[in-house]
């Protein structure tokens, strides 16, 4: 059984417009939230130095998500993000975050991989 795809694109390529840009972070995941905010993942393993997970509020302001403690670069590995590698929002509204636990691909893991759910 195959998956049905639309025969015509919903929007033309010309409809794409930049929404947000950064010259200081590399993002690899974005999750729109029902209230208009957006979660963005900026994993440390690609060289990002800011929060690994942050929220863009409806006014454009950015903040560490869920808080600064989870985005700290030092501290107990089971109390903070080590190296994010996945982000999704389920149909029931839960946010799932995948953390590989490997801060540097050349070194051993700081802890086993884990998933966190809000």
Give tens-digit pLDDT for 16-68: 888 888 888 889 999 999 999 999 999 888 888 889 999 999 999 999 999 99
- Summarize the chain as % helix, strand, coil (round to 5): 10, 25, 65
pLDDT of the residue at 35: 96
Q: Give the 3-state secondary structure of 41-65.
A: ECCHHHCCCCCCEEEECCCCCEEEC
Q: Decide if pLDDT at 6 tops 70.
A: no
Instruction: Give me the residue spans of the domains in the chain.
Output: 26-117
Task: Quote the Cα angle for 72-74-78, to 5°.
Answer: 80
pLDDT confidence of residue 4:
67
| pLDDT tens-place string over residues 55-111 | 999 999 999 999 999 999 999 988 999 989 899 999 999 999 999 888 776 666 666
Q: What is the pLDDT of residue 100?
A: 86
CA distances from 56 to 9, 13, 37, 46, 59 (A): 28, 25, 6, 20, 8
pLDDT at 94: 93
Q: What is the pTM of this model?
A: 0.74
């Amino acid at each position: 059984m195959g998956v049905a795809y639309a025969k015509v694109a919903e929007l033309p390529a010309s409809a794409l417009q930049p929404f947000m840009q950064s010259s200081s972070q590399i993002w690899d995941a974005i999750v729109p939230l029902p209230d208009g905010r957006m979660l963005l993942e900026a994993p440390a393993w690609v060289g990002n130095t800011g929060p690994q997970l942050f929220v863009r509020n409806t006014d454009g302001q950015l903040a560490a998500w869920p808080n600064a403690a989870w985005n700290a670069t030092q501290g107990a590995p089971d109390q903070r993000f080590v190296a994010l590698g996945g982000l999704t929002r389920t149909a029931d509204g839960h946010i799932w975050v995948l953390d590989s636990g490997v801060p540097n691909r050349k070194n051993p893991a700081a802890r086993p991989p884990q998933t966190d759910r809000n």
